[in-house]
Amino acid sequence: SQKIEQNSEALNIQEGKTATLTCNYTNYSPAYLQWYRQDPGRGPVFLLLIRENEKEKRKERLKVTFDTTLKQSLFHITASQPADSATYLCASYSSASKIIFGSGTRLSIRP
Amino acid sequence: NAGVTQTPKFRVLKTGQSMTLLCAQDMNHEYMYWYRQDPGMGLRLIHYSVGEGTTAKGEVPDGYNVSRLKKQNFLLGLESAAPSQTSVYFCASRAPGRVYEQYFGPGTRLTVT
């Protein structure tokens, strides 16, 4: 079955460093991948979308890459801040109307 | 705009009771979705709708029913609640042909005892 897999272990890094989160997909070839941020007790919030023909996408301190050979997307936050602490979800559409999500990676930025 | 709203925010049910969760959106979105989120399992799609009057099954539809009588509302019903339905439920909506981002509500925390 189609799957989106993220590292379930929490990622703890020092403020100011670059955080890198990984998303791997199996058993299909998504045309695009999305990244969402979720804070405790709240719904996910859309951050970025990257299409399969785009190697890299940037938005302020965020950067996403899409490697169709490795079947992987990397999500980077540069100059990380404690306010970036949250769970980050990777997602993609399995059909025209259905989206599948990874289980998310919890990121903690320590001052 | 309020975006996507969900009621109630919290609910405790006894096994066998029924309830309806209401989702409303004021963005005129065609597509609406119901998910459940459990620890370590991410968001799983329960049912979805691609327009008023339409519904379809997602990944985990058993034990749930939905209705989309009005474009702005999407209702999720539990006819006979079970402890396995203890979860956080999220509603989402999106516009077709947009950059595909979904807008999520704040969630409903449901406990079935």
Res B13 pLDDT > 80: yes
* Contact between B105 and A44 using a beta-carbon 8 Å cutoff: no
* Contact between B104 and A97 using a beta-carbon 8 Å cutoff: no
Model confidence pLDDT, tens digit, residues A91-106: 988 776 778 899 999 9
CA distance A31 to B65: 31
* Contact between B58 and A101 using a beta-carbon 8 Å cutoff: no
**What was the pLDDT predicted at B98?**
61
Model confidence pLDDT, tens digit, residues B46-74: 999 999 999 999 999 999 999 999 999 99
Model confidence pLDDT, tens digit, residues A18-37: 999 999 998 888 888 999 99
Which residues in chain B have Cβ-Cβ distances shorter than 8 Å to A101? 35, 42-44
Distance of CA B76 to the CA centre of its chain: 6
Q: Which residue has the higher pLDDT, A7 or B76?
A: B76
Mean pLDDT calculated for residue range A77-87: 97
CA distance B49 to B72: 11
Minimum distance, in Å, between the CA of residue A102 and any CA atom of chain B: 6
**What was the pLDDT predicted at A96?**
66
* Contact between A34 and B90 using a beta-carbon 8 Å cutoff: no
